[in-house]
Amino acid sequence: MKPYQALIWSEWRQMRSNVMFLGGITLLAVLLLLLGCFYKIQAEYIETAAAALASGLPLLYSIVLADSFTREFIQNTDRFLLEMPVSPTKIFFCKYCTNLTVFLLLSLFTTLIMALTIYTIGPKAGKDFIPINILLIVMSCWIPVHGTIFAASLLGGNAGNGVLAITIMPLLYLLLFPGTMVITMFFINSNSGWLISGLWLTLIILYFSSIGFGWYLWAVRIAHRRKIVKPIIAASSIILLAPFILFGLAYLCTSQSFYSAIQEARTSGLDTDRNKLFPPPVSDEQNVSSGILKFYNDYYGKGVPVLPSQYATGPSWTETNFSFNGKPREVLPQKTIIATANYILNDPHMNQCYVILAETLKKPHFRFERGARGQYSTAAVFLSDRAYALRVAGRDNDFFVCLAGLDKIANALTEWPYAFIKESGLELKEIEYQTAIAAGPDTHDVMKFYHEMIRNVDSINPVMPPDILYSFDDLKDLSISKCLNPEFSRDWWLPLALPRLFQMAAAQFRWEIQRYKLLKQASASDCIQAIMPDVILLEKNLNDIPGTDIIMSSGIKDYFICRSKFESYKLCLALKIYRIKYDKLPDSLQQLTPEILPKIPIDPETGKNYIYKPEVNGFRLSGHEEIKYQTWDIKPEKTK
């Protein structure tokens, strides 16, 4: 142990004057902060200054201590080798670990003193006290900074190179970063984990490279009085070339996988040309979309008129149980329902908005505009509320005119080749059917509308379009915020992200091929239980796709849930038809066949029969969700 003790003591003896100097600077900084707080001099900046010193002083420590380390190595090279019966490698690491330990203790002491200052005398009474996890993150950054400064100082034999190392360290980090990012992307699926691992791996590589290069310079070059120019050139070449070689190889590998996946998708029957799915644009004069945008601007741009205080949140009748502000219809006073209907039908501003919408829906073409999903939904809900109001007023024909307009809007969204837009269209379809069930008239002349809606249920396709990338242009146009933090959505970031995007797209294509095959099975299955093992396997495979934590979902279960909803709507409409024909509700669902329905469907979500319970003024139907139907009892003669 004596040689190592001698080395440690030698290192401490060389450092102690500098340590005392640095400790004095730290104490002086603390005293200045205390005086500033006591005399209220720039007191609002005390916490900021303390935090800055806690982060910045370790940089000064690393420069000064690296100078001590380097100076003794350069001055005492021969003495160390002659007097110490240990190898140059042991000399190096013994003295370096001593230097690093002193640096960490000094830095930790400084940070704790500054944190205590913030906590005890800061203007915000310690609200910004540095937590232990932040402290550990800062300390983990100190170590690679210390290593880089040490290597640069040893390289030149003076502390001035430490200042240079701080300057060039961000550049070294940026040079290494592309290489580490393409390495980690093959092992980590989560995008957030991918980014974090790439950042940390760069720091780790930078640190160990600095330590390894410093050891090589001392043990192989300096200790043997050999020149160090060639190692410097070699190390510089590796730092400059290796990350870009790795990035290029990753780019070639992932792009080849991407184009191969496109070919596999085409072979399996998936249409990989998204442009073919979009209908050609039409002029605003013939397109419904422009009128809907005008309706939306008038409806909200001028401010929606405020209802009387008891109706302040407006009507919300788009549910099968005809609720109003969350209250079932049966507990609402008739005057509340009638007053709301009168407001919707007679308010000048509401009528003006309806005229705009009604004229718009007469146009021949319905081309959905990107980014207008909210406007379409607003128009559909507006028509649903008006349909309820018309039913209260006894205007049955106009009721179905509103539903027809709502159906046009819903169809426009469901035909769009984006999953989140089609989902909105299906939600509007649900509103349409719920409105017809809850408020549709019970007269013989409207049975044709219900029969048509029942037939249309079978034509509703709840299969979500593939949420995947279709071409290289789609990759370039892709919003980076879908797979990375929105702060990175800059043009300069896209080249770095391309290998990851290629990797994500290829994996998604291959997974989508499996989903496409499974959806074919689903469309031929009565319920999800028939293909549940394949669904579980598909969702398990989903975990192997990069970026799935943000941008993908299987959609198989949602497919059966949507089918369950519309099958229940079909049964409700059939029950309304039965009641119209026989002036009563059936005792069981089996009485609907074969006159109204060819067969009674089972719940596609559960594989069980729907539960039907007749009641005095309606019925309850339970499947995916419970539908409570109440016979319409609002007299139109009470309305204006």
CA 457 to chain centre: 33
**What predicted TM-score, i.e. pTM, was given to this entire model?**
0.66
| DSSP structure string for 312-329 | TT-----STT--BTTB-G
CB under 8 Å to 278, separation ≥6 — which residues?
417
Own/partner pairs for 224-228, CB < 8 Å, 24+ apart? 228/155
Domain ranges of the chain: 2-226, 288-463+565-574, 472-559
Q: What is the rounded distance in angstroms from the CA atom of residue 158 to the CA atom of residue 166?
A: 14
Split at pLDDT 50, 70, 90, the class of 236 is confident
pLDDT the model gives residue 339:
80
The region of weakest confidence among 253-262, 440-449, 550-559 is 550-559
247 and 179 Cβ atoms separated by less than 8 Å: yes
What pLDDT was estimated at residue 131?
53
| β-strand partners of 630 | 618
Report pLDDT for 489: 44
Q: Look at residue 266 and tell me whether its pLDDT is greater than 60.
A: yes
Rounded Cα distance between 119 and 423, Å, is 51
Whether the CB-CB separation of 132 and 39 falls below 8 Å is answered with no
What is the CB neighbour count within 10 angstroms for residue 286?
A: 12
Specify the residue for token string 């943000």.
550
pLDDT, mean of residues 61-72: 73
The pLDDT value recorded for residue 162 is: 64
Residue 455 above 90 pLDDT?
yes
Asked which of 70-84, 182-196, 244-258, 593-607 is least confident by mean pLDDT, the reply is 70-84
Residue 486 pLDDT more than 90?
no
Decide: 380 and 431 in contact? Cβ < 8 Å. Answer: yes
Q: Would you state the pLDDT for residue 314? A: 36
**Both structure tokens of 260:** 């191969």
Q: What is the DSSP letter of 610?
A: P
pLDDT, one tens digit per residue, over 155-203 is: 665 555 666 777 777 788 888 888 898 898 888 887 778 888 888 888 8
| Each residue's pLDDT tens digit, 506-525 | 888 888 888 888 888 888 88
Asked if pLDDT for residue 547 goes beyond 80, the answer is no
Mean pLDDT of 265-291: 74
Tokens representing 159? 């502390």
Residue 38, pLDDT above cutoff 70: no
Nearest residue to 606 via CA among 565, 554, 573? 565
Tell me, what's the pLDDT at 53? 74
C-beta separation of 433 from 569 below 8 A: yes
pLDDT tier for residue 550 given thresholds of 50, 70 and 90? very low
C-alpha 420: how far from chain center: 14
Instruction: Identify the pLDDT of residue 317.
Output: 43
Closest Cα partner for 613 from 586, 579, 631?
Answer: 586
Token pair 């396997």 is found at 537
DSSP H or E run through 161: helix 160-184
